Amino acid sequence: MSGKVQGFRFGAVSAGIRKDGRIDLALAVCDRPAVTAALFTRNLVKAAPVLIAAERASAGLARAVLANAGCANAVTGEQGLRAVQQSTQALAKALGISPEEVLPASTGVIGAHLPVEKIAAQADALAAKLTPEGHEDFAQAICTTDRWTKIAEAEVEGAQVLAIGKGAGMIHPDVGGLPHATMLVFIFTDAVVEQAVLARALAEASEVTFNACSVDGDTSTNDTVIAMASGASGKTPSEAALTAALTQVCDKLARSMVADGEGANHVAEIKVVGLKTRSDAKQAAKTIATSMLVKTALFGEDANWGRLLAAAGRAGVAFDPGQAAISIGGIAIVKDGAPIGAEAEKQANEVLKQPSYSIELRLGDGPGEFAYLTSDLGHGYIDVNAGYRS
């Protein structure tokens, strides 16, 4: 599909926020007040744009998203808030709308001040760049350590859905239910949808996608997921269909973010089944998915099932290790808590060479199950993060 969602236009410019001169300021605008739902980081330390976007999004209607890379504007206090107010004001003026209708989002270094004058200076140029096809530029401009842009599209009962995300490191969203670090996601649809329906669909989709993936276990101060519906298609999908479509695009973005995990070579789906509750299964899957020893074993392409089981054992959920069964890519390597044999592990090691695979731990006979996405932990992660600010 062309990527065009009726009612929306997109654009991006270089405002010099990033040191390298790449485009770093992105704008999406709806030609009418769009029905809006949003989720934000649950980190107690919230960046200024998160505080302001959350307040503005609570109106349930918005006209624009203004997002920048290069600076997270996560300085606490008045200065950070003022920077957001001034920069969105400049854009609102250029667009002829109210600043209250502009939702801000920022990603980049935490603790630096947002260069508001650089953003204001680009307001008119950015407004002039808006086109229905500008979403690729938008996606490019919000990238930080991302190696590729993240775009997902879906069609739902005649309406279009376009989702744009970024996120590679500090990825462990926990936004209103979501958790990773820093993830920005913007979803645009031309469906006709009530605000309460959009909010529910977004929360449900996020819970099983963004809130079920991790690169490094660090939840950002800036995680933001915003969904806007223009209604311009005139189509009104059912809530179930809309939820499915949002889940589809969010899942694609989540997988792309984990695959792009800083320095990652593999995406592993850690599926825990057989526990008492879904919540227990999520806790176990998350503990395994964030274990440094598990993640380094994945980097080493080593079917080190002892680490998998040991991580489950410290998750704080009840199970009988003597009943544990583990399979990697469908190859059973552990049964009744004991290894099946060297041949099985050799086959499993072959699976671990693939770019993506699934690891299943059956820890009992209960109905609780949950799948969590994670990446391997290799030298690239160290390189990216040890020198991020220099």
Instruction: Point out the residues that are catalytic.
Output: 182
| Distance separating alpha carbons of residues 82 and 99, to the nearest angstrom | 13
Per-residue contact string for residues 311-350; x = within reach of a second copy by CB under 8 A: xxxxx-xxx-xx-x-----------xxxx-----------
Out of 158, 234, 306, 341, point to the residue binding a second copy (CB under 8 A).
Answer: 306
Out of 72, 156, 161, 201, point to the residue binding a second copy (CB under 8 A).
Answer: 72
Instruction: Determine if 307 is a binding residue for a second copy (CB under 8 A).
Output: yes
Out of 10, 40, 186, 305, point to the residue binding a second copy (CB under 8 A).
Answer: 305
Out of 198, 201, 297, 331, point to the residue binding a second copy (CB under 8 A).
Answer: 297
Written as six digits, the tokens of 247 are 């889940």
Closest among 306, 288, 281, 286 to 363, alpha carbons compared: 281
Measured from the Cβ of residue 12, the count of other Cβ atoms closer than 10 Å reads: 28
- When the beta carbons of 13 and 47 are compared against a second copy, the nearer one is 47
**Contact call for residues 273 and 170 (beta carbons, < 8 A):** no
Question: Which one of 28-36, 56-64, 239-247, 379-387 is the stretch in contact with a second copy (CB under 8 A)?
Answer: 379-387
Burial of 86 (C-beta count, 10 Å sphere; 0-12/13-18/19+): middle
Instruction: Determine if 21 is a binding residue for a second copy (CB under 8 A).
Output: no
Strands (E), 92-223: 102-106, 150-156, 159-166, 184-189, 213-214
- When the beta carbons of 241 and 293 are compared against a second copy, the nearer one is 293
Instruction: Determine if 381 is a binding residue for a second copy (CB under 8 A).
Output: yes
Query: C-beta of 303: minimal distance to a second copy in Å?
Result: 9
Contacts of 46 (CB under 8 A, 6+ apart): 40, 54, 221
**Please, where are the H alpha helices in the chain?**
48-57, 78-95, 116-121, 123-128, 135-141, 195-207, 239-259, 278-289, 292-299, 305-313, 342-351, 379-386
Instruction: Determine if 168 is a binding residue for a second copy (CB under 8 A).
Output: no
Instruction: Determine if 177 is a binding residue for a second copy (CB under 8 A).
Output: no
Per-residue contact string for residues 225-264; x = within reach of a second copy by CB under 8 A: ----------------------------------------
| Distance separating alpha carbons of residues 50 and 139, to the nearest angstrom | 19
**Contact call for residues 196 and 239 (beta carbons, < 8 A):** no
Q: What are the backbone angles phi and psi of residue 185, rounded to the nearest 5°? A: -135, 130
- When the beta carbons of 15 and 72 are compared against a second copy, the nearer one is 72
Out of 109, 125, 208, 244, point to the residue binding a second copy (CB under 8 A).
Answer: 109
**Please, where are the H alpha helices in 142-262?**
195-207, 239-259
Query: C-beta of 315: minimal distance to a second copy in Å?
Result: 8
Out of 75, 91, 328, 361, point to the residue binding a second copy (CB under 8 A).
Answer: 75
Residue written as tokens 């005139």? Answer: 234
| Distance separating alpha carbons of residues 15 and 342, to the nearest angstrom | 57
Burial of 54 (C-beta count, 10 Å sphere; 0-12/13-18/19+): middle
Measured from the Cβ of residue 336, the count of other Cβ atoms closer than 10 Å reads: 11
- When the beta carbons of 41 and 160 are compared against a second copy, the nearer one is 41
Query: C-beta of 194: minimal distance to a second copy in Å?
Result: 33
Size of the site for a second copy (CB under 8 A): 64
Query: C-beta of 81: minimal distance to a second copy in Å?
Result: 11
Q: Which residues contribute to the site for a second copy (CB under 8 A)? A: 42-46, 72, 74-77, 79, 109-111, 169-170, 174, 181, 216-221, 291-293, 296-297, 299-300, 302, 304-307, 309-315, 317-319, 321-322, 324, 336-339, 377-379, 381-382, 385-390
